[in-house]
Homo-oligomer: A and B are copies of this chain.
Amino acid sequence: MALLDGKALAGEIIAGLREEYQRIPKRLSLGAVVVGSDPVVAKFIAEKKRIADELGVDFRIYEYDAAISTNDLRANMAALVHQARLDGIIVQLPLPPAINAQSVLNAVPPEKDVDVLSARAMGNFSVGKSPVFPPVVGAVKALFDEYKINLRGKIVAVIGAGALVGKPIATWLLLEKATFTMVEEGGDIVAATRNADIIISGAGKPGLVTADMVKEGVVVIDAGTSSGSFSTDSTGSPQAISGQQASLVGDVDFESVSKKAVFITPVPGGIGPLTVAMIFKNLIVLASQD
């Protein structure tokens, strides 16, 4: 078993970004919309601010009360988009459950949508016309490139169809013409995982994937942490769920699964830091397109 060291790779990527950033003749700014005062949200934002500071990106936090309405938040977003000189905008998820998250996400124009979560950015990505990848896709691609893992001829199992992991990963696998199975919690997960060469889990459910469900030599990507703490209901409307536990634990029982896996991401230190690095990569790519 070899560890897919996302933390180390994220460090290398950020070092590379620092060089690319020097070629851009202005200081970039990234706005983060934060609603309420969830401690997990605060932790995610702190991590992004840390990387912004490291790179010299102007990171501006826009805080709103947890009781704000979807309409008021959208109105504030519109003002942000048009008035502030922001090169990128993120809406920190999860939002309070009363807010229609997708409606808010759609207020971010594609050229500033570093998270690729608006309908327009997702649409561009789904038809192969996006200059940037959804962060989790960029993270998985970076690991696959680094560790020479190839999709060709492989069977992939994707667990969870949430907006932050399963949906963008599935959309990417469609573009790649990969063979893959999507399965949700409550579906027959074992049927999908037992023959899979690669498992990508974003269910946000600790201990969901255990050793008896996987085959020897499997590649396991555990994205069921911070990124897994946000899902969409059957109509596609995102619903915030508590991310407290999910931010600390992945979907995979690392102790047992790592004994059968050829490659596996740890949690923390796997997909998480790479996803944050990809947000800044996207910021630089989008800003370079102006």
Asked if A22 lies at the interface with its beta carbon under 8 angstroms from chain B, I say no
Asked if A269 lies at the interface with its beta carbon under 8 angstroms from chain B, I say no
| A175 CA / B171 CA spacing, docked (Å) | 12
The answer to whether A236 and B175 have CB atoms under 8 Å apart is: yes
Q: Which residues of B contact A237 (CB under 8 A)?
A: 128
Query: A235-254: contact bitstring with B at CB < 8 Å (1 yes, 0 no)?
Result: 11100000000000000000
Q: Which residues of B contact A118 (CB under 8 A)?
A: 123
Which of A127, A178, A188 has the most C-beta atoms of chain B within 10 angstroms of its own C-beta? A127
Q: Which residues of B contact A208 (CB under 8 A)?
A: none
A194 to chain B, nearest CB (A): 11
Asked if A272 lies at the interface with its beta carbon under 8 angstroms from chain B, I say no
Q: Which residues of B contact A155 (CB under 8 A)?
A: 188, 191
| A69 CA / B265 CA spacing, docked (Å) | 47
The answer to whether A166 and B174 have CB atoms under 8 Å apart is: yes
A174-B167, A183-B179 are contacts. A106–B126 as well, Cβ < 8 Å? no
Residue of B123, B129, B161, B191 near A174 (CB, 8 A) is B161
A252 to chain B, nearest CB (A): 19
Q: Which residues of B contact A122 (CB under 8 A)?
A: 123, 126-127
Q: Which residues of B contact A102 (CB under 8 A)?
A: 127-129
Q: Which 3 A-B pairs have the closest CB atoms?
A: A128-B236, A123-B123, A119-B123
A residues sitting closer than 8 Å to B (CB atoms) are: 102, 105-106, 118-124, 126-129, 155, 161, 163, 166-167, 170-171, 173-184, 187-188, 191-192, 195, 232, 234-237
- The 22 sampled A-B contact pairs (Cβ below 8 Å) are A102-B129, A106-B127, A122-B123, A123-B123, A123-B124, A126-B126, A128-B237, A129-B236, A161-B174, A166-B174, A171-B171, A175-B232, A175-B236, A177-B184, A177-B234, A179-B181, A179-B184, A179-B191, A179-B192, A180-B181, A181-B182, A181-B192
